[in-house]
Amino acid sequence: MSLVYLNGEFIPPDQAKVSVFDRGFIFGDGVYEVIPVFGGRMFRLPHHLARLEASLAAIQLRNPHTVRQWNDIFTRLLANNGTADQSVYLQITRGVAARDHAFPPNISPTVFAYASPLNYPPAEQLAKGAAAITAADNRWQRCDIKSIALLANVLLRQQAIEQGAAEAVLVRDGLMTEGAASNIFIVSGDRVITPPKGPYILPGITRDLVVEIAHFHDIDCVEQPVPIGSLRSANEVWMTSSTKEILPITRIDGRPVGDGKQGPMHVRVFALYQQYKQAFIRGEVE
């Protein structure tokens, strides 16, 4: 990582300094985005910036940059790292002010961004699948905001790690919501199902693309509530995210999902996703 962006400057990481009175540090008062970059092209950038705008509006913070300005910032960061697949992380906090819960007037937001190599799950993990646990969704009621205040998610993911699993599948009022850091799909028979969007689920960009791909290729895919019983009886379970893409979950709470192997629907949808990604790299789709 050669340079990061901080408040209008492109500087080495060790020179990037943020005040200890920044509200992101004091309160977790801010939002973030993660944008994958394939073949030098930012993947679904308009979708990511739209989600960023929605998160900023939800916390009553003005977007500090136009779409063109964001594009220029990201392009310069990416130019320093070559054309390998990368991800761009950006974070906006409300800024620096004396510690007070109320929004301070007339302060400038803190804007930070950097690019780093994108590491995919190895082929062996795709074929073998990942383990997960179920856990009570004890987060707040605005999970649709991509907030930097992620302590509950951190604790849930750590709970999974300590039990030898890669993800925690969250359950609230008897219904599956999402993963600690992912969206979740199940396959029941020939139908692909994922919970509908709402305040308990982050509107994932990869999630939405999987739904689009399924519909385009006439795969039966619906967005509907998923009871915990349907999760436990599913033929397949997947987690999706910008960095994990579409990763099969083959064990939940120590029990196999289906036959405990990567399922045929995952093989099909993952291949279609990769085809879409290659078409994107060639400039054939946006």
Yes or no: say if 85 and 38 are a contact pair by the CB < 8 Å rule. yes
Could you give phi then psi for residue 66, rounded to 5 degrees?
A: -80, 170
How much helix, strand and coil, in percent to the nearest 5, is found in the chain? 30, 30, 40
**Element containing residue 26 per DSSP (H, E):** helix 23-27
Yes or no: say if 205 and 197 are a contact pair by the CB < 8 Å rule. no
Confidence of residue 111 (pLDDT cuts 50, 70, 90): very high
pLDDT for residue 159: 98
Confidence of residue 1 (pLDDT cuts 50, 70, 90): low
| 173 φψ region: left (φ > 0), alpha (ψ -120 to 50), beta (else) | left
**Element containing residue 128 per DSSP (H, E):** helix 123-128
Non-local CB neighbours of 116 within 8 Å, separated by 6+ positions: 1, 81, 86, 87, 89
* Full-model pTM: 0.96
Distances (CA, A) of 63 to 22, 67, 93, 136: 17, 10, 11, 34
Is the per-residue pLDDT at 219 higher than 70? yes
- Per annotation, catalytic residue among 128, 146, 244, 277: 146
pLDDT in tens, 23-33: 999 999 999 99
Average pLDDT over all residues of the chain: 96
At 188, list the tokens.
């029941």
Give me the percent of the chain exceeding a pLDDT of 70.
99
Q: What are the chain's domains?
A: 4-117 (3.30.470.10), 123-281 (3.20.10.10)
Confidence of residue 268 (pLDDT cuts 50, 70, 90): very high
Respond yes or no: is residue 146 known to be catalytic.
yes
Is the per-residue pLDDT at 20 higher than 90? yes
